């Protein structure tokens, strides 16, 4: 007669291993398809240096990259250092970025962080998450983008596209963006993070849109879940 108490731990251990293998298999599918579609990837936000990258990422909150680029193309040829924006002052910064959402709040952040960079960091953008996230208007996602695209440090910035797609592809439970970041970092090699997060963003904009696919029609969703028939409801970031 089989002792159930002895077999339970083995059963749960094997179930957990199977779940992890499925996650790993799906992550490999994701990586393969994204590399096929986007063998080379460009940074969507245009910038002149790390400081202007920081400004562009800050401006991109609740705003499209296209809109940010359209605004900054008229700013960065002339204004591209912290002292330039301090000299401009908050009101003039507002006028320069008025076509961007919540421009008054963003102008205040740009002006104040420019002063801090001058006074505390010798006009240089700091190279740590802690210091970046201590700047006005800079959260973890903005800091991650700057660390990744500005300094080449392995990071995995999570935006609404990545949070949505990671759920559709069964790579996270979607509890929150913090959990999504942890799960994706666990599943993908660190060397791939900087390129991969951009690939996912582009894929989410082109093939697995918020109001399209719903986890049942794009190539990655149908490959990962060929038997899924009903639209998948995902948790918002």
> Under 8 Å CB-to-CB from 130, ≥6 apart: which residues?
none
- How far apart are alpha carbons 198 and 11 in whole angstroms? 39
Q: How far is CA 10 from CA 1, 13, 17, 23, 141, in A?
A: 17, 5, 10, 20, 40
SS3 103: helix
Do 53 and 150 form a contact (C-beta atoms < 8 A)? yes
- What would the DSSP string read from start to end of 102-148? THHHHHHHHHHHHHHHHHHHTTPPPSSHHHHHTSTT--HHHHHHIII
- Helix (H) / strand (E) element for 158: namely none
Do 52 and 72 form a contact (C-beta atoms < 8 A)? yes
Is residue 174 packed enough to be buried (19+ CB in 10 Å), middle (13-18) or exposed (0-12)?
buried
Supply 27's token pair: 């992550």
Catalytic amino acids?
A: 141, 159
Do 59 and 72 form a contact (C-beta atoms < 8 A)? yes
For residue 175, the tally of other CB atoms under 10 A from its CB is 12
């Amino acid at each position: 007669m089989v002792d159930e108490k002895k077999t339970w731990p083995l059963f749960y251990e094997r179930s957990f291993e199977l779940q992890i293998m499925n996650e790993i298999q799906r992550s490999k599918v994701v990586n393969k398809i994204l590399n096929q579609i986007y063998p080379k990837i460009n940074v969507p936000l245009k910038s002149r240096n790390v400081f202007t990258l920081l400004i562009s990422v800050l401006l991109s909150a609740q705003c499209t990259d296209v809109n940010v680029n359209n605004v900054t193309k008229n700013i960065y040829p002339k204004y591209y250092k912290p002292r330039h924006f301090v000299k401009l002052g908050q009101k003039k910064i507002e006028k320069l970025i008025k076509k961007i959402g919540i421009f008054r709040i963003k102008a205040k952040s740009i002006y104040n962080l420019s002063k801090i960079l001058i006074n505390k960091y010798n006009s240089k953008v700091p190279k740590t998450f802690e210091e970046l996230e201590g700047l006005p208007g800079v959260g973890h996602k903005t800091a991650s983008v700057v660390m990744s695209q500005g300094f080449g440090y392995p990071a995995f910035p999570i935006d609404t596209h990545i949070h949505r797609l990671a759920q559709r592809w069964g790579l996270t439970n979607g509890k929150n963006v913090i959990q999504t970041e942890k799960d994706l970092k666990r599943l993908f090699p660190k060397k791939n993070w900087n390129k991969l997060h951009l690939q996912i963003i582009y894929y989410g904009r082109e093939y697995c849109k918020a109001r399209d696919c719903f986890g049942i029609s794009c190539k990655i969703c149908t490959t990962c879940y060929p038997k899924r028939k009903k639209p998948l409801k995902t948790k918002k970031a």
